Amino acid sequence: MILVPNRPPRLNGNNCLYLLSFLFFISACSRKIVPVQPLAGPEPVKMATSKVEEPVKIDMDHSIVLLLPFQLNHLNLKTTKKSDLSKADLAIDYYQGFKLGLDSISAEGHNYNLHVFDTQNQETQIVNLAMAESVKRQDLIVGPVFPEEIKIFSEFSDLSKIIQVSPLAASLPSGLNDSLLLSINNSIDQHAKKIADFISREYQPELVQLTLVNTQRTVDAKFSNHIKRYLNEFSGTKFRLIERPNVIGIENYLSATKNNLIMITSSDRTFLIQAVDKLVKLKDQKYRIELFGHPDWMKAKYLSPSRMQSLNTRITASYFVNYNDQNVKNFIARYRDEFGLEPSEYSFKGFDTAYYFGLLLKKYGKLYPNYVIKEPYSGLHNEFYFVKDVKLGYRNSTLMMLKYQNFELQVVK
């Protein structure tokens, strides 16, 4: 058995060649996770139950397939530079976080055979993997990453009772009817539902004025339509909603006496900068404004925290790391020690996915699919609480509301 090196070198200078060697090892290996000193991971959320579960006989060895876009087919050992490796960053970070998640459980005697494959971001490769016996005869499949890849893989695979995890995709693959697909990230309709539910619960209709800024671009309109649908579902016609294509002349539609709740569904940089400038000026004119935005705003570094805080800005999120949490500090220290690098968003997501499913396999073995909807989990970057949909499979129903406080985004309790 070929073992993947535990410590890939830093991404600088001549070390790029060593990293390339590391990647090529990954594409051909089956990784056996061996017992190590565990990293104290987040604990599953405990649920009260009136039914006593029968003891489950557990196999101590579990096999997991990880399908990630390392895209080794685009790399050339002789000519590749550091800049050429950027596309592989996501896959590397996720893999390393995933590895630490399994390592953190394996010290108790539960071994995990981790089979890592490069999807190459190519349709032919994904079809081959979907039909390969070495892939579909495992206990769990994590990946591929992108929606279209997931759709192709599902169409050509026959997984029987094996769960296929969509680890990072925020959108559901269209036309897919897969009850065994499990989506970690929340889709845009779930973000819209969270906003609509929050407004319906927290505000009295007669005390607020709602304005929806919808550019009518395809993506923005989709988010807007979901918000309107859920507002109507939760509140009927109790809230009066005004819809505008931009913020030009928006002051003519604001209330001078009520609290103005403004929802902007666009994440376009130019449009957003101009909109925020306009709203800040109106705020300075004594209009009471609370702003609700797109989940992509979380990564918009060009947005000034002080200006966003002045607008009482809230956004929904399926990813948030509290760097003051001790579990997070422990993970970062272990990640630095293991890999000599700082963990990224994908490292945290990889760890939580591995830790959650590793625990399920440890407790229930091959029967773990029966317990997915019964076992919530509080992780480093989000909580998992899965619900089952006949057409869409398992969906994570947990979503956070973030607000700018003390000039940074914080979870709204």
Residue pLDDT, tens place only, 253-276: 999 999 999 999 999 999 999 999
DSSP 350-412: HHHHHHHHHHHHHHHGGGGGGGGGG--EE-SS-EE-EEEETTTEEEE---EEEEEETTEEEE-
- Tell me the mean pLDDT in the region 214-220: 96
- The CATH class for the domain spanning 15-186+323-401 reads alpha beta
Residue 303 contacts residue 277 (beta carbons within 8 Å): no
Q: What is the pLDDT of residue 73?
A: 76
pLDDT at 180: 86
pLDDT at 71 (0 to 100): 84
- pLDDT higher than 80, residue 89: yes
Closest CA to 208 of 89, 279, 289: 289
Between CA 314 and CA 320 the distance in angstroms is 14
Nearest residue to 99 (alpha-carbon basis) of 281, 323, 350 = 350
Query: Could you report how far apart the first and last alpha carbons of the chain are, in Å?
Result: 48
Mean pLDDT of the chain: 86
More confident site: 83 or 130 = 130
In this structure, of 47-56, 108-117, 202-211, 320-329, the range with the lowest mean pLDDT score is 47-56
The per-residue DSSP string of 74-93 comes to G--TTT--GGGGHHHHHHHH
| pLDDT above 90: percentage of residues in the chain | 70
Q: Residues 109-121: what's their mean pLDDT? A: 91
Q: Is the pLDDT reported for residue 341 higher than 80? A: yes
Rounded average pLDDT over 320-335: 97
Predicted confidence (pLDDT) per residue in 132-185, tens digit: 998 988 999 999 999 999 989 988 988 777 899 999 998 776 666 677 899 999
The SS3 call for residue 214 is coil
Share above pLDDT 70 across residues of the chain, in percent, rounded to a whole number: 81
Instruction: Place 389 in a pLDDT band, splitting at 50, 70 and 90.
Output: confident
pLDDT at 144: 96
Average pLDDT over residues 211-233: 97
Structural class in CATH, domain 191-317: alpha beta
Give the model's confidence band at 72: pLDDT under 50 very low, under 70 low, under 90 confident, else very high: confident
| pLDDT over threshold 50, residue 28 | no
Which tokens hold the place of 97?
């976080």
Q: For the residues 124-134, what does the mean pLDDT come to?
A: 94
- Ordered by start, the domain boundaries in the chain are 15-186+323-401, 191-317
Domains 15-186+323-401 and 191-317 equal at CATH topology level:
yes
**What is the per-residue pLDDT for 88?**
82
pLDDT over 80 (residue 31): no
What's the pLDDT score for residue 223?
97
pLDDT for res 11: 38
Helix (H) or strand (E) holding 264: strand 259-264
- Order of strands, edge to edge, in the sheet holding 259-264? 241-244, 208-213, 259-264, 289-293, 314-317, 400-405, 408-411
Of 52-56, 165-169, 249-253, 324-328, give the lowest mean pLDDT range. 52-56
